[in-house]
Chain A
Amino acid sequence: EGQLVESGGGLVQPGGSLRLSCEASAFTFISYWMHWVRQAPGKGLVWVSRIKYDGTTTTYADSVKGRFTISRDNANNMVYLQMNSLTADDTAVYYCAREVGADIPAGAFDIWGQGSPVTVSS
């Protein structure tokens, strides 16, 4: 079925940086687009970023463009989200998710991690 486990979240000061990790298991990781989605406390889901199965293509939401970087290590079944210049608006639970479609990353996420909470506060 497949599993995703996030790690790396925590408390960080405004302007600081944090790197989230997501480890995949029980599926052929190299075959799938991977995404990050976040959810602020009591709020809805917001798409953040995605990366193509071979790592050659990345896309970002406008709200994080230039500050966040998504990457992956297919040898170790890992996807990362490097977050810089963090603000209070970035406070959220961050989920990594697997895209169903291989050709067009149309936003159908069939496997989600448990979420990694990030709090930006002084």
Chain B
Amino acid sequence: QSALTQPASVSGSPGQSISISCTGTSSDIGAYNYVSWYQQHPGKAPQLIIFDVRNRPSGVSRRFSGSKSGNAASLTISGLLAEDEADYYCSSYTTINTLVFGGGTKLTVL
């Protein structure tokens, strides 16, 4: 199972909105609405910020939103804050009953 494809890096200025893409196949993202997104700060464990494509866990800011179209998903962060600078990972359930992550995207807040 190949990793999902994410851009290596994205950047934005405080207050702006950015989107991170996550591209898969009809065997993972395209097959189910089971896409999750994680935020990871250096040296820390990942934190769930989106699950089931667009649902936010309790306590996660509404500035984070998710969507999906076909074999691709996206994470949008609005009103960028300095604290949003981190690595972001997408994941998806697959048709062979496994899970696959994306390669990760480093977000830089300029």
Contact = CB atoms under 8 A, between A and B. Distances in A.
Interface in B46-93: 46-48, 51-52, 57, 89, 91-93
B36 A109 contact: yes
Contacts of A37: 46, 101
B98 A44 contact: no
Interface string B91-110: 11100011111111000000
A104 interface: yes
Interface string A98-122: 0010001111111011110000000
Nearest to B6: A44
Residue of A61, A108, A113, A115 with most partner-chain B CB within 10 A: A108
Size class of B's contact patch? 20 to 34
B44 to A, nearest CB: 9
Contacts of B46: 37, 45, 95, 109, 112
A44 B104 contact: yes
Given A44-B89, A45-B46, A113-B45, A106 B32 contact: yes
Given A47-B101, A61-B98, A62-B1, A107 B45 contact: no
B18 interface: no
Contacts of B34: 104, 106-108
B104 A47 contact: no
Nearest to B33: A106
12 contacts: A44-B3, A44-B89, A44-B101, A44-B102, A44-B103, A45-B104, A47-B100, A106-B52, A109-B36, A110-B51, A112-B45, A115-B45
Interface of B: 1, 3, 32, 34, 36, 38, 40, 45-48, 51-52, 57, 89, 91-93, 97-104
